[in-house]
Structure 1
Amino acid sequence: MKLLLSLILIIAACNTTEKRQTASQEVSRSPWFFETTTYNIRNPLFDDVELRTGYYVESTPLKGCILYLEGLADSVANQAPLFNHLSKNGYRVIFFDYMGQGASGGSMNNTRIVDSANESLQISTQAKYIWSKYVDKKDELNGQDCSHSKKFVMGWSTGGLAAYTLVHEGWADAVAMITPGIHVKAFVGESATDKSLMLTFKQTISERTLTRNTFSGTFDPHIEPIKPISPAVIPLFAANLMISSKLSQKWKVPAAIPGIAFLSGTNDTYVDREAISKTLKKNAPHFEQVKYDGALHELQNEMPEVSSDLYARTVRFFDGLTAGSPAAPGMAL
């Protein structure tokens, strides 16, 4: 009898230890999943390119998946605060770095927004490919995938314009745009006050012109460098961006596609806030608009009162489109 009792206690102890180890693994596991993906550019003039791709896994029951499109000169690794908030509220964020940005190979000069002659160079085409790559991928720990998710898209700046392109193409089911490049300025960042910087190929895109937040005494999410440093060093993309921006100002958005646009203050040196607002009122009158007076371009990494409000509104927006999701009610703070 004593031997039997001892065996039962040993088995119970082993099971408890195994459960504790599993729980510990889940707690310590990084939410980031990164890998390198070879992207086939279907044009003999361009070589295939290695892109950094992946997703930021949800930390609560999965509600849906969001395809995030970064801004010019950015890196997905710089968006941890936004991704973490979405993760805590049940959203998986699928992402990739554009060519020549973050940890991706190639050159941003070969990237396009709208180019019917070279569709494989378009961010929207690459975005669809990345979504298809991860939509059925089960997370190794929670076993969940995005196969039942609507095609939610979120983009900042250049990525906001690319997200708007996916709406125009009829691919996206819903969109959240942060200071989208629907009306871009010719002289951006530092060159807004010193145009010679653009002509001499010096750095014009800078953290101090992107956000008022200096992150003094706290975590600075900008862990990877600005690359490229100026639109002037990627003239082919810069020209295409200006052309695509003009084209987008004529696009009408069907009322069936919901959207929300987060707009910066009028002192934003990268886009024209009031022009964007006017265009959206005309072409997408059903889109919600949220304006942050005084804020600069990178709203998701702006002062806490701005970024926190943006995070909360983003979650509410997507939550309103995920009725019947398995996630528990309520929003994590």
Structure 2
Amino acid sequence: MRCQFSLLKNQPFRRTRSACYLAARIRRTIQCRGGYWELQSKDISEHEPLVTSKESTHDPACLFRAFGLTLAPKTHASIRLIRIGQFDIAVYSFRPHLNPIKGQILLLHGYILHSLCQAPLISHLAANGWEVISIDWPGHGLSSGKRANISDFSIYADILSSVIDTIAPDSGTAPLHLIAHSTGCSAWIERMRSGLPDPFNKVILISPLIRNAAWYASLTGLWLAKRIRWILVPRIFRRSSHDPLYLNTMKTDPLAPWVLPIQWSQSLLEWQRKLHRTHPFERTVTVFQGTHDTVVDWKHGLRTIRRIFPRSSIIQCKGQRHDLLNESLPARTMVFEAIDRMLAPPIDPNSDSLNA
């Protein structure tokens, strides 16, 4: 316990506490505007470092600029807070100035990240005529909740269902697709396990989390942490991309947690056990997976995906790491172009090969 107290006094804890305060300040700013903040594309068009004074961080546009989000003129960008259970969930919308739009894409981020970490993909999709909707999971980004924690993975699925119910009326007849990364994939899989109807035309999973890398070592560490009654551990920064600019942005992310709760790892373990009892689904999914991923146990993950989704299509990206959506520019461009091809409507409207 003495070591734990020492941990709570050091820089990782102070940075995590600062992230909590920053998120809370921005939430209060949005709530003062009725829970909705609209931004102009001209206000977030240039990349600049985030200034973390109280005055500047009251404006969410500062965060958009810090993460390099670039939007075409007249793109409608907004953040709204939706109360789901005990959480205030931040929901982002990026709608291009087109009539009609191609459709909607729900983008789900991974663990200890947030929506703006996916800025390159958001910029790319919006520029190509898609409305992008993204959320921050509880305890991540601008959403409320204990930082980087969840008591049960079913909560992720419940929040996903509530968000779907919120955006479904807006989609009309336009297609609704899903792109999920890491823990975002876990949330969608858990929702599928619940038996709820799946509203997505196409589902793309990026580096899905089934279990983390060095799984058995992690189990040993979890057991030891529980024995000595640790509730928090320092975050270990991993080189999850070959892009040095992205890695530097992650190191300086003012919303990132730097101490992680043991509870989240326990919840992952319990969810992993549930997957063993999951029956296969006929749902077609496409999976992108880097072969140098050191964050998730990707070989085990692909075996599990093939078992649960026998009709899945697996695309292995040789030499690439976990954050495929933020990889080096050549690799990222290849992934984005592949996503574009998958989202494109079929040439022949009578073709049965829509999900081929």
CA contact (8 A) 1:51 1:97 kept: yes
Residue number in structure 2 paired with 1:181: 209
Cα 1:171–1:300 shift into 2, 3 Å: same
2:290 is matched with 264
Q: Contact between 1:99 and 1:111, CA under 8 Å: does it hold in 2?
A: no
Partner of 1:113: 153
How many positions carry a matched residue from both structures?
269
Alpha-carbon distance in structure 1 between the residues aligned to 2:272 and 2:130: 29
Secondary structure of the residue aligned to 1:254 is coil
Gaps of 5+ in 2: 1-41, 44-70, 350-356
The aligned residue for residue 55 of structure 1 is 93
Distance (Å, rounded) in 1 between the aligned partners of 2:163 and 2:198: 13
Secondary structure of the structure 2 residue equivalent to 1:103: coil
- d(CA) in 2 for partners of 1:130 and 1:156? 17
- Alpha-carbon distance, 1:85 to partner: 1.4
Partner residue in 2 for 1:243: 270
CA distance in 2, matches of 1:56, 1:112: 30
Q: Which has the larger radius of gyration?
A: 1
Contact 2:108–2:184 under 8 Å retained in 1: yes
Alignment of 1:218-229 (within 5 A): 224-225=253-254, 227-229=256-258
**Aligned counterparts, 1:48-197, within 5 A:** 48-60=86-98, 61-107=100-146, 108-114=148-154, 122-136=155-169, 145-168=170-193, 169=195, 170-173=197-200, 174-185=202-213
Are 1:69 and 1:163, in contact at CA under 8 Å, matched by a contact in 2?
A: no
1:201-259 C-alpha deviation (Å, 9 max, x unpaired):
454343x422121028x9958884463335xx32222211222133235534433x221
State which of 32, 36, 39 in structure 1 corresponds to 2:77: 32
What is aligned with 2:235?
204
Within 2, Cα distance between the matches of 1:301 and 1:33? 23
Task: Tell me how far 1:175 sits from its aligned partner.
Answer: 1.5
Change in Cα spacing, 1:27 to 1:69, as seen in structure 2 (3 Å) is closer
Distance 1:303 1:249 in 2: 35
The one-letter amino acid of 1:239's match is Q
> What TM-score does the superposition give when structure 2 sets the normalisation length?
0.65
| SS of match in other structure, 2:90 | strand
Query: C-alpha separation between the residues in 2 aligned to 1:180 and 1:162?
Result: 10
Deviations 1:177-206 (A, max 9, x none): 111112323669xx98xx79x968454343
CA distance 1:219–1:64, change in 2 (3 Å)? farther
User: Which runs of no fewer than 5 residues in structure 1 stay unpaired?
Assistant: 1-23, 42-47, 115-121, 137-144, 325-333
Structure-2 change in CA distance of 1:282 and 1:51 (3 Å): closer
CA displacement at 1:101 relative to structure 2: 0.8
For 1:45-97, what per-residue CA distance to the aligned partner results, in whole angstroms no more than 9, with x for missing partners? Answer: xxx32221121213554222122211111110111111121222232222211
Match of 1:308 in 2: 333
Q: Which residue number corresponds to residue 288 of structure 1?
A: 313
Match of 1:113, as an amino acid? Answer: F
Once the two structures are TM-superposed, the CA of residue 112 in structure 1 deviates from its matched residue by: 2.8
Please identify, of 75-84 and 241-250, the stretch whose mean Cα deviation from structure 2 is larger: 241-250
SS at match of 2:244: coil
Q: Any conservation in 1 of the 2:74–2:97 contact (CA below 8 Å)?
A: no
Q: Which amino acid is 1:204 matched to?
A: R
Identity within the alignment, %: 19
* 1:38, distance to aligned residue in structure 2 (A): 2.1
Q: Name the Cα RMSD after superposition.
A: 3.4
Name the counterpart of 2:342: 317
Structure-1 separation of matches of 2:347 and 2:277: 30
In the superposition, relative to structure 1, how do residues 110 and 166 fare at CA in structure 2: closer, same or farther (>3 Å)? closer
Contact 2:114–2:136 (CA<8 Å) still a contact in 1?
yes
